[in-house]
Amino acid sequence: MAEPNFRAMLATIGLNIKTVISIRSDPNKEYAYTLSRLLAKILFRRADGIVFQTEQAKHWFPISIQKRSRVIFNPISDEFINTTCSKDDRQGIVAVGRLTKEKNYPLLLNAFAKLLRYYPEEALTIYGDGGQREKLEMLAKKLGIEHRVHFPGVVSNVAERIKNAKLFVITSDYEGMPNALMEAMAIGLPVIATDCDGGGVQALIKNEENGLIIPKNDEAALVAAMRRVLLDPEFAQRIGVAARNSTLMYSEKNIAIEWLKYFDSIL
């Protein structure tokens, strides 16, 4: 979103039109280079409004920008809110997202390989596609777990596919507001997420209340967290229910209302 935001600010110079832009990822990564960082902090001062997904992203910018901003979470599709997980017959561990470097799926594969020592019949399914797919498939083969790991690619009925999973895992190094995590929580799945940069995970999860947060790139912590959820069905059920209850407020309707209120305040 960096370049579209820059273009929006440049295109509206001299026009009598309100301009609202939005930051959709970790600013440290989205505006990582000196020029883009400088442009953001100068051009965005002209915006009438700026929407952030997290407080952490908001505080990356100068106070003059923060004062005109609003933090609005991503909406969760009704498809996920209207889907609830099964209390019985739970099967497999799932992850959902683009198969890209920042998602750090090698961490998940390496941890899952160690988990199989305790749960040799367990299975892992990673939904999504991307440039890292071939490398991930090769890593699974190298670890000797290719028969327990599945890469179905992009599917249309994600909610239905993941609703009966035992566990949802996100291992990203950085995120904005992770949609896949929000959707899994809305279904009521127990979730494990890395303490990744961007602030989205920290805004969504209260550790050990509605999910588990582990350090970034910590394989041992991930194995321990997965074992804890699998060993304790009552704990898994409790954090899953809490996850669902804590995310229902982010329905499409409620988030649309937040945007409309913000637009009204600017106009």
Q: Tens digit of pLDDT for each residue in 134-145?
A: 999 999 999 999
pLDDT, tens digit, 9 for 90 and up, residues 207-234: 999 999 999 999 999 999 999 999 999 9
Tokens of 221: 């912590």
185 and 152 housed in the same domain: yes
127 and 198 housed in the same domain: yes
Structural domain including 193 reads 78-250
206 lies in a domain? yes
Determine the pLDDT at residue 171: 97
Determine the pLDDT at residue 1: 80
Per-residue pLDDT of the chain (267 residues; tens, 9 = 90+): 889 999 999 999 999 999 999 998 889 888 888 899 888 988 999 999 999 999 999 999 989 999 999 999 999 999 999 998 877 778 999 999 999 999 999 999 999 999 999 999 999 999 999 999 999 999 999 999 999 999 999 998 999 999 999 999 999 999 889 999 999 999 999 999 999 988 999 999 999 999 999 999 999 999 999 999 999 999 999 999 999 999 999 999 999 999 999 999 999
Determine the pLDDT at residue 80: 96
Distance, CA of 266 to CA of 17 (rounded, Å) = 11
120 and 94 housed in the same domain: yes
Distance, CA of 162 to CA of 149 (rounded, Å) = 15
256 lies in a domain? no
Number of domains present in the structure of the chain: 2
- In the block, tokens 């637009």 appear at 263
122 and 205 housed in the same domain: yes
Sign of CA dihedral 115, 116, 122, 124: positive
Determine the pLDDT at residue 89: 77
For residue 160, give the nearest of 247, 242, 77 by alpha carbon.
77
124 and 182 housed in the same domain: yes
User: Buried b vs exposed e over 117-139: b needs ≥16 C-beta within 10 Å?
Assistant: eebeebbbbbbbbeebbeebeeb
Tell me, letter by letter, the H, E, C secondary structure of 223-235: HHHHHHHHHCHHH
